[in-house]
């Protein structure tokens, strides 16, 4: 494909504006649109998969195989009445859903979806390659919880409040191991940039999930807890708190919470794939005999791995009961944090001894 039209555009807009503003904005819009579509069909896939796991059919009436079901759902949510409880704290109530969605979407701006292209002038597979991307991701991921706490508090509903409180406790216990788990791969790659980390794995010829198996495990468990998914879906526990923090929300605002949850699932999966499973790299990147796997483009590998994670999320939901509040804290503080700390220590020692830093 020729990318000369891009050069023409670059001329027309002017060089600094193009690189700093126009190109990232355009890429971000494309990414967001793709993510929205992905989310819509992720919900659909979840319902069909759960149906399969639970000896029923799932939605199969709207369009062929029910494929138009997500569209119908979105339309329904958009035209529904947006109720605000009488004694809610209005500004916080209105702000909360946005606070959940926005950070999740912004994180996609630093995720590299594919390798740097070889064609001259072709756009790269990421919006921006931030040199402190990992810190950026951790910071934004923890912002999303504020929306949940705020939503739970502002609803002026006791069940929502309890949901918000649970969410706060969950954040405090699981942010820490999640951040610590990312330190291991960071030390191995010697870079905070997500692109740098994938390249580090290419250099090593090994996905970081292999040397960092503990960190990988801790990150994923903490990630499931962060996204409030089963078995850690305490803040919205249907049977205990009647949907918890979003009990009072309806229509578009409920849709935003919903969107946030699924966007977060994709974020956690995308970061896990990038940091631990070699991002766009094929399996066993150092084994020459498997070079034919490179025929599959990097983007496809990336999304294949992300889908595998998403399947895991859905599978969990079909299998596990829910943890209790105090047991969740136990798991976080007594297992995940010591494990991830030990992992940081051991990794640091090994890195110093072998001197595999840059």
Partner 1 sequence: MSGAGPAGEALFGLREMELNFGPQHPATHGVMRLKLKVDGERIVDCYPIIGYLHRGTEKLFELHPFFQNVPHTDRLDYVAAATNNLAYVGAVEKLVGLEVPPRARYIRVILAELQRISSHLVWLATHAIDIGAMTPFFYCFREREVILDLFEQYCGARLTLNCMRPGGQPYDLPQGWVDRCGEFVADFPAKVAEYEGLLTENRIWKRRTVGVGVLPPETAIAYGVTGPMLRGSGVAWDLRKAMPYEAYGEVEFDVPVYANGDTYDRYLVRMEEMRQSARIVRQCLERLPGGPIMAKRPRVLKAAAEAEVYHAVEGPKGELGFYIVGDGGPNPYRCHVRPTSFMNLQALPEMARGALISDLVALIGTVDIVLGEIDR
Residues that bind partner 1 (CB under 8 A): 50, 53-56, 158-159, 162, 165-166, 169, 230-231, 233-234, 237-242, 317-327
Minimum Å distance from CB 80 to partner 1? 20
Dihedral sign of CA atoms 259, 260, 265, 270 in order: positive
The vertex-184 CA angle with 180 and 188, nearest 5°, equals 155
Instruction: State which residue, 56 or 87, has the beta carbon closest to partner 1.
Output: 56
H helix or E strand, kind and range, residue 168:
helix 158-189
* Selection from 225, 215, 228 nearest residue 338 by Cα: 215
Minimum Å distance from CB 69 to partner 1? 19
Minimum Å distance from CB 269 to partner 1? 21
Q: For 119, which DSSP code? A: S
Q: Name residues whose C-beta falls within 8 Å of residue 125's C-beta, 6 or more positions apart in sequence.
A: 112, 113, 114, 115, 116, 117, 280, 298, 299
Instruction: State which residue, 241 or 273, has the beta carbon closest to partner 1.
Output: 241
Minimum Å distance from CB 318 to partner 1? 5
Tell me if 125 sits within 8 A of 117, measured CB to CB: yes
Instruction: State which residue, 136 or 262, has the beta carbon closest to partner 1.
Output: 262
Tell me if 77 sits within 8 A of 252, measured CB to CB: yes
Instruction: State which residue, 134 or 310, has the beta carbon closest to partner 1.
Output: 310
Minimum Å distance from CB 258 to partner 1? 17
Instruction: State which residue, 191 or 230, has the beta carbon closest to partner 1.
Output: 230
Collapsing DSSP to helix, strand or coil, 216 comes out as: helix
Minimum Å distance from CB 333 to partner 1? 14
* Selection from 225, 227, 245, 226 nearest residue 235 by Cα: 245
Q: How far apart, in whole angstroms, are the C-alpha atoms of residue 268 and residue 187?
A: 20
Instruction: State which residue, 159 or 245, has the beta carbon closest to partner 1.
Output: 159
């Amino acid at each position: 494909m020729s990318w000369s039209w891009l050069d023409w555009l670059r001329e027309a807009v002017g060089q600094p504006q193009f690189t700093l503003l126009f190109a990232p904005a355009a890429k971000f819009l494309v990414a967001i649109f793709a993510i929205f579509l992905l989310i819509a069909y992720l919900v659909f896939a979840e319902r069909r998969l759960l149906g399969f796991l639970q000896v029923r059919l799932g939605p199969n009436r709207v369009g062929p195989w029910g494929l138009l079901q997500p569209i119908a759902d979105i339309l329904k949510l958009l035209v529904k009445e947006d109720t605000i409880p009488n004694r809610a704290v209005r500004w916080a109530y209105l702000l909360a859903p946005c606070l959940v969605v926005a950070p999740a979407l912004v994180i996609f701006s630093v995720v590299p979806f594919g390798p740097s292209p070889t064609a001259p002038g072709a756009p790269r597979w990421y919006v921006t390659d931030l040199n402190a991307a990992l810190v950026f991701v951790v910071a934004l991921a923890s912002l999303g919880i504020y929306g949940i706490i705020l939503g739970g508090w502002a609803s002026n509903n006791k069940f929502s409040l309890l949901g918000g409180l649970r969410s706060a406790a969950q954040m405090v216990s699981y942010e820490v191991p999640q951040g610590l788990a990312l330190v291991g791969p960071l030390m191995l790659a010697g870079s905070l940039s997500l692109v740098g980390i994938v390249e580090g794995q290419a250099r090593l010829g090994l996905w970081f999930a292999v040397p960092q198996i503990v960190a990988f495990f801790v990150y994923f468990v903490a990630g499931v807890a962060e996204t409030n998914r089963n078995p850690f879906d305490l803040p919205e526990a249907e049977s205990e708190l009647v949907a918890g923090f979003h009990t009072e929300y309806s229509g578009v605002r409920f849709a935003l919470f919903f969107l946030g949850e699924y966007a977060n699932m994709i974020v956690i999966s995308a970061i896990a794939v990038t940091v631990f499973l070699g991002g766009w790299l094929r399996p066993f990147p150092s084994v020459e005999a498997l070079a034919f796997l490179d025929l599959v483009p990097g983007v496809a590998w990336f999304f294949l791995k992300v889908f595998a994670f998403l399947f895991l999320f859905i599978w969990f939901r079909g299998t596990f009961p829910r943890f209790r509040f105090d047991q969740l804290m136990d798991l976080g503080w007594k297992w995940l944090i010591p494990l991830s700390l030990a992992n940081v220590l051991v990794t640091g020692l090994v890195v110093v001894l072998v001197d595999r830093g840059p």
